Structure 1
Amino acid sequence: MQKIIFIANKNSLARHKLSIEEPIARLLDTNIFSIEIQYTEYHGHAALLSKLAIDDGANIIVAVGGDGTVNEVAGPIIGTGVTFGVVPMGSGNGLARHLNISRNIEKSLTLISAQKTTLIDTCSVNNKRFVSIAGVGFDAHVAKLFAKSARRGFLGYSRIVANEFLKYKSKNYHLKFDNGEEIFQRALFIAFANSNQFGYNTTIAPEASLVDGLMDICIVDKPKIYNLPSIANLLLLRKIELSPFVRIIKAKKVTVTRKKKRVVNIDGEPIKFEKKLEVKINPLSLNIIINPHGSKV
């Protein structure tokens, strides 16, 4: 008997007017699974529930929610050997989109039931773990405002980007890579990509892999307003690396120094860090349920 615990963000479920209890009861075989469903009550609760689930002997822990919930639940699981699953219910769903996991509850639960797994890389910023993507600069600025916004989804996110882009000033960064290379650059933002996705099917690192033991570090200069249509087109075509405003460097580790303590976007969650950031890869450290049909890892 496999002990499976679902940790669900009830706000995400309420926003989509959905319930998971009936489809879980219908699609998961109780001869195979001992099933428990827990609901988050506050920010950070998912991480606590995940740790308690591990201590309670769970074989599989499933995050039901958006990127923030996924990151919270995954954090304590990394390196334990416990299997991690995702039922995407958020706005961006970056990791789920990379893995081609459907937002349809029944389809994602079918994958959970099938238990096809693989080991993937995870990353950390100053020992704060993340699974999909982190970022500094404009990316983090938008994440901070989006977290405070009552308007969710792509339209809410896009509205903040449009309102803030022209007035946001690029920042200076000093990057030192594990091979000794150093870069001093003024940038709109820098993304540290494990998966290829920001979310919303926006691919910032088209060649990123979850199993190559490397991060794709995307350094983005601020373009002029008249350059934005061509950049949007490259994003849609998944060829953003062709833009003269984008430089992508693969690395196992990078140290980033900023002038001030500022917010970092950690899988969609804005968190304030020290000026100096150590970002590194943790190879093949999370056992995750994938879509065996069309999953790109």
Structure 2
Amino acid sequence: MKNVAFIINPFSAKKNYQPFLDLLQKKIENPNFYISESLEGTEKFIKENYETTDIFVAVGGDGTISSVAKSLISTGKILAIFPAGSGNGFSNETNFTKNLDELLTKIKGNQFREIDTFKVNNQLSINVSGTGFDGKVVKEFEKTSRGFKNYIKVSIKTFFNYKPITVKFQSENFKKHDGEYLMLNVANTRQFGNNAYIAPQASTVDGLAEIVLVKKFPLAYGAIFAARMFSKNLKEDQYVTYLSVPEIEFTVNTQDWHLDGEYNKIDSPIHIKVLPKSLKILI
């Protein structure tokens, strides 16, 4: 498998990547792999191996996948995934599992499909990005040892103290949606991760992003919101609004964002733009 390269995030899977690497070296003789500790290192490795590699495998969570995908957008190169994150939303949505034999079979098949990605200002996103409550949650979550239980703890603690954000849209078509919200999410796929479906109707092949506007709701509604989200039944009501758009601009009075689960500071105004069929992904 000389045309395949593996990019491993050593901080994923509770920093326990060695079992994967040991198994990989048993399955493939002299595999081409890189232990990445920075975005710059990942970009350099891809550039150095670009001419001799057809498939780049991201080993990590959604942030790792996004960092690899950034260098593969609008090229002939194919992205593959071995999920090793805390949420694994994008790998869940694109049918990658923690089964190396299954992955290697896919690699031998060398089949792909083209999916959409999008940008938040000049930064790439492949899964779900957002601001407001969940941007703040990710900021605090990154201070913990991660894991689903810690995410829930941080979410509950943040909810009680969080003040709504103010969103103002640039287009007259969306001015009626100006207002205060608990959070605003931009979804290319259906879920954050851990099977939390924030946009059950989202598609990676329709050329559209789902803008999910969620107003701050009373505590009693929280159980309803969670039940609907984890059962793929979240829908529009007095607290939730969906806008399906190829492109949109707005301002928001916070810099706290998460891009595919990774915390980022982003200044307004915000420009969301879908890049249709911009990424080849292994099937």
Taking structure 1 as the reference length, the TM-score comes to: 0.88
For the aligned residue pairs, the C-alpha RMSD in angstroms reads: 2.1
CA contact (8 A) 1:51 1:77 kept: no
- CA distance, structure 1, for counterparts of residue 80 and residue 202 of structure 2: 21
Name the counterpart of 1:155.
149
Name the counterpart of 1:20.
20
Name the counterpart of 1:96.
91
1:40 aligns with 2:45: no
- Going from structure 1 to structure 2, the CA distance change for 1:168 and 1:18 (only over 3 Å counts) comes to same
Q: Secondary structure at the match of 2:270?
A: strand
- CA distance, structure 2, for counterparts of residue 125 and residue 49 of structure 1: 25
CA contact (8 A) 1:78 1:286 kept: yes
- Quote how far apart the aligned CAs of 1:213 are: 0.5
- CA distance, structure 2, for counterparts of residue 215 and residue 14 of structure 1: 32
1:60 aligns with 2:55: yes
Name the counterpart of 2:71.
76
The count of aligned residue pairs is 282
Query: Which residue, 154, 175, 196 being the options, matches 2:190?
Result: 196
1:112 aligns with 2:104: no
1:72 maps to a residue whose letter is S
1:280 aligns with 2:276: no
- Going from structure 1 to structure 2, the CA distance change for 1:13 and 1:44 (only over 3 Å counts) comes to farther
- Going from structure 1 to structure 2, the CA distance change for 1:217 and 1:36 (only over 3 Å counts) comes to same
CA contact (8 A) 1:44 1:72 kept: no
CA contact (8 A) 1:53 1:61 kept: no
1:228 aligns with 2:216: no
- Going from structure 1 to structure 2, the CA distance change for 1:135 and 1:263 (only over 3 Å counts) comes to same
Q: Secondary structure at the match of 2:168?
A: strand
- CA distance, structure 2, for counterparts of residue 176 and residue 154 of structure 1: 36
- CA distance, structure 1, for counterparts of residue 263 and residue 44 of structure 2: 19
- Quote how far apart the aligned CAs of 1:26 are: 4.6
- CA distance, structure 1, for counterparts of residue 206 and residue 2 of structure 2: 30
- Going from structure 1 to structure 2, the CA distance change for 1:257 and 1:211 (only over 3 Å counts) comes to same
CA contact (8 A) 1:120 1:283 kept: yes
1:205 aligns with 2:199: yes
- Residues 212-239 of structure 1, C-alpha deviation per residue, up to 9 Å, x if partnerless? 1000110011110111111111112211
Q: Secondary structure at the match of 1:86?
A: strand
- Quote how far apart the aligned CAs of 1:175 are: 2.2
Query: Which residue, 138, 158, 165 being the options, matches 1:143?
Result: 138
- Between the aligned residues of both structures, percent identity stands at 30
- CA distance, structure 1, for counterparts of residue 121 and residue 45 of structure 2: 23
- Going from structure 1 to structure 2, the CA distance change for 1:277 and 1:37 (only over 3 Å counts) comes to same
Comparing 39-48 with 181-190, greater Cα deviation is found at: 39-48
Name the counterpart of 2:161.
167
Comparing 101-110 with 244-253, greater Cα deviation is found at: 101-110
- CA distance, structure 1, for counterparts of residue 14 and residue 174 of structure 2: 48
- Quote how far apart the aligned CAs of 1:12 are: 1.8
- CA distance, structure 2, for counterparts of residue 52 and residue 157 of structure 1: 37
> Any stretches of 5+ residues in structure 1 without a counterpart?
291-297
1:157 maps to a residue whose letter is Y
